[in-house]
Chains A and B, each alone.
Chain A
């Protein structure tokens, strides 16, 4: 019975989250889900998943999240001629993008980005929370020089409180990056973190694969094997 009760709790939480998704406005994007995506999420959640599997399936989900994040970038129409001599009305990705990963968990998403955009520039931010005040502090930041002119794909897989991401967005803005040019690429978020981020930065775009009240905080440790 205990587990049923828990399940029901999950159910209602799930429904509530679903309802809430719309409430966050158009700047929250959720990866189009299907059984396959759900399975990847399940494997990452399952405490019995081996490290080897965890990394493999995390990389798969990351690839999907990155692909979807790239969909948030601007493009222009482009008409090309195919080898059969016909025209194809397609589109062209615009230049002037870059990635920024938040060390350390954000780095796991770099390869996925690299796999999609071979020569994209990638900056890094290291943020540590103060042991006493729990305040997030930027320890290190290295960006492409012209980051102010670029669209930024900010990579951070797990968002629990949103404090780290908030600090990262702040530092990007300090480097004159426009808020509307920042896309936060994420795998799991809590509703609270999304709410707090979008309240503070209403023009920020957040893309995630799942909104859930409990964040899988073991992600980085399990991925890197430091648990």
Chain B
């Protein structure tokens, strides 16, 4: 599995545990420091996994160690790999995941708790598990989000002198942690506080998280509270030697934070070490699995993943793995409706796909195509048989649409181009907008703006986006609609062009969402454009191509 894993550090991640704004320095490969087999004690009820020989280091595997303190982190492989291989895919860690099984039943997420001393490699283990699991939605919850923060002046003075004990259970808000985990387990939306390590206080804003197929919860005191323990389906303790952990802390705090050796050692001896002996090490007895040496222990991780897989299958999660592996050449899903191909449609495609097409023609012909695809989408609404009276005096057997409330929702920017076609065929309709942008660093979709008609749950929703490549933005938009209680079967996603993998992704995650398009292209390139595709639809339509190419000049 030659995969590069890249984790993006959120700005607020600056815990005393791990602080890595500089990724280069943050690379702390376990293999560098670990050669010995860990010696650890464990309770009789735990399973101990020990690999006698250290696995050879894979040169292609570079793991940037970073703290997963809040959500919205992603695991992404190198873009050069083909998107259609099972390894090339994106795991979403924000937003509402599809926690329905194929029968449409809600399934309780599988919660994995990862505990271990400071700098023991919990994050690496968490990341590797998620990576290997290959499930579409994973929510990462870190204990760091539940720091109470510096609340009074006394604490402030302590903190200033590095004498505030961040490693003591009292530093955490366990009540909030419990209620958050509980809601996540029910698949509900939660607002997770964002802890600011500079001001040592909770920020006014929160991070919205949703239940997922798998929820990974990690922290130094993950096993401290009995109430939390009860909610964990699998408990993993990452056991790394104390000297290794100290070495990592020293390296991190001195090199990256410019602290002096005495100060770091003082903090370690005064708080970190006692906390480990008093609270963390004893909690090892609750573990189901103890992983020595952290993320480098591939055998342990392999076994854990196997177990979680079988658990998920028992719970009725259809894992995405098989789909992603096989989606090329797989039959297209039944929820996909492709506008029947006619010479006109093929001709319209020829115009809008041709890079030489000037903008006015591009706009004109794409609008024609939009009109046709919207008309086609409306034909999928529910209808009933009716008999009407005609001026000619004979009754006429016809059809009437039974959906009295229809609204359009466009995914900005490209989806907006379809609003006109929608208004042209639907009288007096409401149109909502969702702005989803791709994060340039992570290539992940991010939700920026949202305006939806009131009571959207009562509407049939025509979700519009001009092109669907990976389906990531579409999935996010669908999730937003589901969050607003729009029934899944009331959502129709309409676009001009889709990539096969995007179709599979949406159909897999939301089998009841109907997918309507005018063509499905087989591939996606490394820029996530559909191949052969139409390029960046929004740029071509609005004339905002980055370079002054021929297309732009011709379009003026």
Task: List residues of A whose CB falls within 8 A of some B CB.
Answer: 3, 6-7, 10-11, 14, 32, 34-39, 41-42, 45-48, 53, 56, 60, 63-64, 67-68, 70-71, 73, 75, 78, 80-84, 86-88, 90-93, 115-116, 118, 214-218
Q: Report A-chain residues with C-beta under 8 Å of the C-beta of B399.
A: 35, 38-39, 42
Q: Which of B350, B355, B375, B391 contacts A91 (CB 8 A)?
A: B350
Once the chains bind, are A7 and B395 in contact (CB under 8 Å)? yes
Interface centre among A10, A73, A88, by most chain B C-beta atoms within 10 angstroms, is A88
Cross-chain contact of B375 among A60, A90, A214 (Cβ < 8 A): A60
Closest to B394 in A: A214
Closest A-B pairs by Cβ, 7 of them: A42-B398, A83-B535, A90-B350, A36-B379, A86-B532, A80-B354, A35-B383
What are 15 A-B residue pairs whose CB atoms fall within 8 Å in the complex? Answer: A6-B395, A7-B397, A38-B398, A39-B383, A42-B388, A42-B399, A45-B388, A56-B427, A70-B344, A80-B353, A80-B355, A86-B531, A87-B532, A214-B390, A217-B391
B210 touches A (CB below 8 Å):
no
Given contacts A45-B388, A71-B342, A217-B391, 9 further A-B contacts (CB under 8 A): A34-B379, A46-B398, A80-B350, A81-B356, A82-B534, A84-B525, A84-B535, A92-B347, A214-B394
Name the residue on B nearest A90 (C-beta).
Answer: B350
Residue of B whose beta carbon sits closest to that of A10? B397
Chain B neighbourhood of A71, CB < 8 A: 342-344
Q: Which of B347, B388, B530, B533 contacts A48 (CB 8 A)?
A: B388
Docked CA distance A34–B397 (Å) = 14
Chain B contacts for A53, CB-based, 8 A: 427
- Decide if A82 touches B392 in the complex (CB within 8 Å): no
Please name all residues of chain B whose beta carbon is closer than 8 Å to the beta carbon of A75 when the two chains form the complex.
343, 346-347
Q: Which residue of A lies closest to B395 (CB)?
A: A6
Residues of A close to B355: CB separation below 8 A: 80-83
- Checking B353, B368, B400 against A42 with a beta-carbon cut-off of 8 angstroms, the contacting residue is B400
Q: Contacts A56-B427, A84-B525 given: A14-B397 contact, CB under 8 Å?
A: yes
With contacts defined as CB atoms under 8 Å apart, how many contacts are there between chain A and chain B in the complex? 151
Residues of B within 8 A of A35 (CB): 379, 381, 383, 399, 401
> Which residues in chain B, 346-397, are within 8 Å of chain A measured between CB atoms?
346-347, 349-350, 353-356, 364, 368, 371-372, 375-376, 378-379, 381, 383, 386-392, 394-397
Distance between Cα atoms of A27 and B100 in the complex (Å): 50
Contacts of A6 in B (CB 8 A): 394-395
Inter-chain contacts of B531 with A (CB < 8 A): 84, 86
Interchain CA distance A118-B363 in the complex, whole Å: 13
Whether B551 pairs with A83 at a CB distance below 8 angstroms is yes
Tally of chain B residues near chain A (CB < 8 A):
50
What 0/1 pattern do residues 520 to 544 of B give for CB contact below 8 A with A? 0000010001111111100010000
Nearest-neighbour CB distance to chain B for A214, whole angstroms, equals 5
Q: Is B425 an interface residue (CB 8 A)?
A: yes
Q: Which of B342, B368, B392, B533 contacts A83 (CB 8 A)?
A: B533
Given A39-B400, A82-B532: A10 in contact with B394 (beta carbons within 8 A): yes
> Which residues of the other chain, A, contact B535 by a CB distance below 8 angstroms?
82-84
Query: Are B350 and A46 interface neighbours, CB within 8 A?
Result: no
Q: Is residue B340 contacting chain A, with contact meaning CB distance below 8 A? A: yes
Query: A88 and B389 in contact (CB under 8 A), knowing A35-B379, A118-B364?
Result: no
CA distance A118 to B360 in the complex (A): 11
A129 to B312: give the CA distance in the assembly, Å.
76
B376 → chain A closest CB, angstroms: 8
Q: How far is the CB of B503 from chain A (nearest CB, A)?
A: 18
Contacts A56-B427, A90-B346; is A45 near B532 (CB within 8 Å)? no
Q: Which residues of B contact A116 (CB under 8 A)?
A: 368
In the complex the two chains form, what is the Cα distance from A217 to B529 in whole Å? 51
Closest chain B CB from A191 CB (angstroms): 15
Chain A contacts for B378, CB-based, 8 A: 36
List chain B residues, Cβ under 8 A from A82.
Answer: 353-355, 532-535
Q: Nearest CB to that of A69 among chain B residues?
A: B344
CB neighbours (8 Å) of B343 from chain A are 70-71, 73, 75, 91, 93
A45–B346 CB distance below 8 A: no
Contacts of B394 in A (CB 8 A): 6, 10, 214
Complex contact B353–A90 (CB within 8 A): yes
Q: How far is the CA of A91 from the CA of B350 in the complex (A)?
A: 6
Which B-chain residue is minimally distant from A36 (CB atoms)?
B379
Contact among B389, B427, B534 with A47 in the assembled complex (CB-CB below 8 Å): B389
Docked CA distance A166–B104 (Å): 58
Chain A residues with Cβ below 8 Å from B536 are 83
Interface residues of B in 232-262 (CB under 8 A from A): none
Closest Cβ of chain B: how far from A45's Cβ, in Å?
4
A62 to chain B, nearest CB (A): 12
Could you tell me the distance between the alpha carbons of A63 and B369 in the complex, rounded to whole angstroms? 12
Q: Chain A: which residue is nearest B540 at the CB level?
A: A83
**Contact: A88 with B392, CB < 8 Å?**
no
When distances are taken between beta carbons in the complex, the residues of chain A under 8 Å from B425 are 60
Minimum CB distance partner of B425 in chain A: A60
- Chain A residues lying within 8 Å of B379, measured Cβ to Cβ, are 34-37
Determine whether the beta carbon of A3 is less than 8 Å from that of B395. Answer: yes
- On chain B, the residues within 8 Å of A86 by CB distance are 531-533
Chain B residues with CB below 8 A from A70, complex form: 343-344
**Cα of A83 to Cα of B427 in the assembled complex, Å:** 36
Cβ–Cβ < 8 Å partners of A7 in chain B: 387, 395, 397
Determine if B371 and A78 form an interchain contact, defined as CB atoms under 8 angstroms apart: no
A6 to B340, CA, bound (A): 35
User: What distance in Å separates the Cβ of A210 from its nearest Cβ neighbour in chain B?
Assistant: 10
Tell whether, in the assembled complex, residue A218 and residue B347 are in contact, meaning their CB atoms are under 8 Å apart.
Answer: no
A78 and B353 alpha carbons, distance in the complex (Å): 12
Which residues of chain B come closer than 8 Å to A11, judged between CB atoms?
Answer: 397
Chain B residue numbers with a CB within 8 Å of A3 are 387, 395
Q: Decide if A88 touches B398 in the complex (CB within 8 Å).
A: no
